Amino acid sequence: MSTIANNIAKVAARIREAAQAVGRDPDTVGLLAVSKTQPAEAIREANGAGLSDFGENYLQEALEKQARLADLALTWHFIGPIQSNKTRAIAEHFDWVHSVDRLKIAQRLSEQRPTELPPLNVCLQVNVSGEASKSGCAPQDVAELARTIATLPNLRLRGLMAIPEPTNDRAEQHAAFARLRQLQQALALELDTLSMGMSQDLEAAIAEGATWVRIGTALFGARAYPSQTVPGQPGA
């Protein structure tokens, strides 16, 4: 078994055990492989080991990998901060966007989504920890923004996403993820997605209702970032 396949098996076991520990069906938790900075060959290997959902932060890098892997049936998720000049390419080439944090971006994605494609699945990113360095809307703005995004014609609002401040304190991990879950429950919208939890805290995220955990390091190993890029935030 290859290293990546072995790592996938280990993470799948963690997901299964975490779900069963709180009485959840493990099949309700999706494994989103964070493949930013990883070569196309690593994605092909992971797909061969059973994964089909991949998350990317850097648009140009992602487009190049999509072209190289066009022969595979993959589902592509954009999980990085979104600049206005990148929305058209994201709307045209991705199935999911987890990092919508303001109305302008949502409107552009809706307007630029090709009509021959199904609605773009989106999550509203929330800055649950209030960190100045993190993207995401403020918790107090979630209700109005979510309800407006839910009306846009070419988007399907699926739920909320968060990247809480890193901590090894399990109680703090649970509290941050619980805040996101409570924000979603308060919306009274038909949402089915909580995108939260990474390599170091997926157990707490699953206990609080995560339906996507975004895992990179535990699958692919430590990343070697190109000197011209800054490490992205939404997956580890």
pLDDT tens-place string over residues 90-131: 999 999 999 999 999 999 999 999 999 999 999 999 999 877
Burial label, 155 (beta-carbon count in 10 A; 0-12, 13-18, 19+) = buried
Q: Is the pLDDT of residue 227 over 80?
A: no
pLDDT at 235: 58
Report the alpha-carbon distance of residue 22 to residue 209 in Å, rounded.
10
Q: First-to-last CA distance in the chain? A: 23
Report the alpha-carbon distance of residue 183 to residue 160 in Å, rounded.
9
Give the pair of three-digit tokens for residue 116. Answer: 């021959």
Q: Is the pLDDT of residue 231 over 90?
A: no
Single-letter amino acid code for the residue at 188: A
pLDDT at 236: 57
pLDDT, average across residues 13-29:
98
Which residue, 125, 152, 123, is CA-closest to 137? 125
Q: Is the pLDDT of residue 234 over 70?
A: no
**Residue 164 pLDDT grade (very low, low, confident, very high; cuts 50, 70, 90):** very high
pLDDT, average across residues 169-178:
96
**Residue 134 pLDDT grade (very low, low, confident, very high; cuts 50, 70, 90):** confident
- Neighbouring residues of 31: CB distance < 8 A, sequence distance ≥ 6: 8, 11, 12, 15, 51, 53, 213, 215
pLDDT tens-place string over residues 203-217: 999 999 999 999 999
pLDDT, average across residues 37-65:
97
Tell me how far the alpha carbon of residue 172 is from its chain's centroid.
21
**Residue 229 pLDDT grade (very low, low, confident, very high; cuts 50, 70, 90):** very low
